[in-house]
Amino acid sequence: GDTPACVVSLNGNHAVRLPLMECVQMTQDVQKAMDERRFQDAVRLRGRSFAGNLNTYKRLAIKLPDDQIPKTNCNVAVINVGAPAAGMNAAVRSAVRVGIADGHRMLAIYDGFDGFAKGQIKEIGWTDVGGWTGQGGSILGTKRVLPGKYLEEIATQMRTHSINALLIIGGFEAYLGLLELSAAREKHEEFCVPMVMVPATVSNNVPGSDFSIGADTALNTITDTCDRIKQSASGTKRRVFIIETMGGYCGYLANMGGLAAGADAAYIFEEPFDIRDLQSNVEHLTEKMKTTIQRGLVLRNESCSENYTTDFIYQLYSEEGKGVFDCRKNVLGHMQQGGAPSPFDRNFGTKISARAMEWITAKLKEARGRGKKFTTDDSICVLGISKRNVIFQPVAELKKQTDFEHRIPKEQWWLKLRPLMKILAKYKASYDVSDSGQLEHVQPWSV
């Protein structure tokens, strides 16, 4: 045919097809630029994210002497909200250093909105955040408390410390908190400052973003544990494991963990299932036990069904599998929230937080000298990654995309990967490839 050979590559969170010859040409151009010591060109040819990463790295690694940083006389505060997520500390470090490089005075708020109301606020310097990138949990301390019942106190603290902008790093509570602060702007002018939220939660359930800091680390833990559990049965034939994952109502961890660990099924809230589905899964496993692979793995999201609990599914499988396979169950629990962040979460946290800080700096620049009040929706945003772009979305606009009862976005990109798991587990299923996309072209990036 006339179709040129192509390379399937990733752009952001999006698979793209690129002509093979253009990719080869680009690779050779980079090498040529390097050989001829045209390093600016080499950086440009390597693409947008390479240039961005290099720039962020330089800003975070090397501090200019204080007298070379023009001061803005602005105070920017950073806070962690919700449950701990691996990579939060990398995000705080990055925000603090970019903020200092931009000339702001950085303030750390300890123990979430609770600490905010009590005035647990201290200036935080460049060296204070040294070595934070690889630390798990949240060094600043984090709580699920919402600001709603402390609005007076928090407004007082904002005034006392003259806070000119707020960066919130956290999960669904951070999102709800941002909505509450946004609604309180009419009553408290202290909240009329730029505010931005960076999503950080293992559940990956924040509206406005495909990914959240901490989800990758949790996924690594789940996959690793599933591998170990499966291996424990390498001597025992015909065994099925039922493993419960976290995530609230959001099935991201169960679904992606299932894909990565090669599960036979993953039960999630977003895709309702009934006794017939459970029956068909049991029959499928019974058939599988007749082959050479005599192990089964089933994942269940903790809140996928009120009545089909992990115990129920375990008992059902045990009864139905009698004489064919036996069953074991495992609840992974809080090990999914702990641990050192994966390289992805360290870098993602660092980059997205630096981007949030640049946004704050730009907003404060607009207002300089005019004592401007920020009252518009676009000054209180969630920073998210969507397909291949990093975008700031007004929290007010994200409301209609949110299922507040179940604390998840109404639409989730990863659901279209569901059939893939079924195919890999040898079920008859069809995978939608309509979005396989047109052939694109390789673009050098202009610095």
CATH code, domain carrying 256: 3.40.50.460
Which residues are within 8 A (CB) of 213 and not within 5 positions of it... i.e. 6 or more apart? Answer: 85, 86, 87, 88, 90, 91, 169, 198, 199, 200, 201, 341, 345, 348, 349, 352
Would 442 be classed as within a structural domain?
A: no
Looking at the fold, whether 224 and 285 belong to one and the same domain comes out as yes
pLDDT at 74: 96
427 neighbors 5 (Cβ within 8 angstroms) = no
Partners of 230 in the beta sheet?
none
What pLDDT is stored for residue 248 in this prediction? 97
Residue 273 domain flag: yes
Specify whether 280 is located in the same domain as 306.
Answer: yes
Please state, as a whole number, how many other Cβ atoms lie within 10 Å of the Cβ of residue 344. Answer: 16
Measure the CA–CA gap between 267 and 244, rounded to whole angstroms: 9
Asked if residue 280 is part of any domain, the answer here is: yes
Q: What CA–CA distance (Å, rounded) separates 327 from 316?
A: 10
Considering the domain boundaries, does residue 413 fall inside one? Answer: no
Same domain, yes or no, for 34 and 109? no
Split the chain (447 residues) into runs of 10 and give each run's mean pLDDT.
83 81 91 94 87 89 92 96 97 98 97 98 97 96 96 98 97 98 96 98 97 97 94 82 97 96 95 95 91 89 97 96 93 93 96 97 84 90 91 96 98 92 78 67 64
Instruction: Answer yes or no: do 207 and 219 share one domain.
Output: no
* Same domain, yes or no: 236 and 196: no
Q: For residues 305 and 171, state if they share a domain.
A: no
Distances in whole angstroms, Cα of residue 299 to Cα of each of 17, 224, 304, 341: 32, 14, 11, 23
Residue 418: inside a domain: no
- What length is written for the chain? 447
Q: How far apart are CA 7 and CA 87, in angstroms?
A: 32
**Same-domain pairing of 90 and 209:** yes
Q: Note whether 240 and 257 are same-domain residues.
A: yes
Burial label, 12 (beta-carbon count in 10 A; 0-12, 13-18, 19+): middle
pLDDT reported for residue 352: 96
Beta-carbon count within 10 A of 229 CB = 18
User: What end-to-end distance do the CA atoms of the chain give, in Å?
Assistant: 37
Residue at 60 is within a domain: no
My answer on whether 266 and 308 are in the same domain is: yes
DSSP 352-394: HHHHHHHHHHHHHHHHTTTT----SGGGEEEEEEETTEEEEEE
Q: Which of 318, 338, 358 is the last residue of a domain?
A: 338
All residues at 6 or more sequence positions from 217 whose CB lies less than 8 Å from its CB, including other chains: 85, 86, 87, 136, 202, 339, 340, 341, 342, 344, 345
Kindly give, in sequence order, each residue whose CB lies less than 8 Å from that of residue 30, ignoring residues fewer than 6 positions away.
42, 45, 46
Amino acid 371: pLDDT: 66
Q: Coil, strand or helix: which one is 67?
A: helix
Are 139 and 89 contacting, i.e. CB atoms less than 8 angstroms apart? yes
Whether 277 and 324 map to the same domain: the answer is yes
Residues 222 and 197 in one domain: no
Instruction: Determine phi and psi for 432, rounding to 5 degrees.
Output: -75, 115
Buried b (16+ CB within 10 A) or exposed e, 123-141: ebebeebeebbebbbbbbb
Task: Tell which residue, 122, 117, 119, 92, has the closest CA to residue 105.
Answer: 122
**Count of domains in the chain?**
3
Q: Supply the range of the domain harboring residue 35.
A: 1-46
SS3 68: helix
Does residue 59 fall inside a structural domain? no
Take residue 163 and report the two structure tokens written for it.
């806070």
Residues 209 and 74 in one domain: yes
Q: Provide the pLDDT for residue 445.
A: 59
Give pLDDT, residue 182.
Answer: 97
Give the per-residue pLDDT at 367.
Answer: 82
Question: Could you tell me if residue 309 is inside a domain?
Answer: yes
For residue 447, the model assigns a pLDDT of 41
CATH of the domain at 196: 3.40.50.450
Closest by CA to 168, choosing from 343, 176, 160, 364, is 176
